[in-house]
Amino acid sequence: MGDEDHAHEEVALPTASLGDMTLELAQGHGVLEAGKESHLVVKLPYNDNGETIVRAWIGTEDRTLSMVGKGQYAPSHDDYDIHTVAPIPLPENTMWWIEIEKPDGTKVVGSTNPIIE
């Protein structure tokens, strides 16, 4: 699939603090809707050449009814692209949840508000 087939607009989200890191985030594929695919872009505060594992899901911290997406590192942007589907129905207080697993095995979890109509 070429870049033209996957073109989409990304909208900046509030930053998320995970442990001692602040992540820059953006949401693609428009507003969040139950049962629809959404896209999260995660920019780490360091360059790791794709060695960190980045996961994200939409919903609640406990992941109930959520599909967890694993980030694909994009070296041309030095960020991670994650695609996942929002649960049906969207839980009250739905958030984007992000889990960072560093190469040394440490994990941190945090969240940010999604763009919802």
pLDDT at 8: 62
Contact call for residues 80 and 71 (beta carbons, < 8 A) = yes
Secondary structure percentages of the chain, helix, strand, coil, to 5: 5, 50, 45
State residue 7's pLDDT score: 52
Residue ranges of domains in the chain, CATH in brackets: 3-112 (2.60.40)
Global pTM value: 0.90
Judge whether 103 and 48 are in contact, CB under 8 Å: yes
Query: What pLDDT, on a 0 to 100 scale, did the predictor assign at position 9?
Result: 86
Contact call for residues 54 and 100 (beta carbons, < 8 A): yes
Per-position pLDDT tens, the chain of length 117: 334 344 568 999 999 999 999 999 999 999 999 999 999 999 999 989 999 999 999 999 999 999 999 999 999 999 999 999 999 999 999 999 999 999 999 999 999 999 997
- CA gap 13, 40 in Å, rounded: 9
Instruction: State whether residue 95 is helix, strand or coil.
Output: strand
Q: Report the DSSP beta bridge partners of residue 73.
A: 80
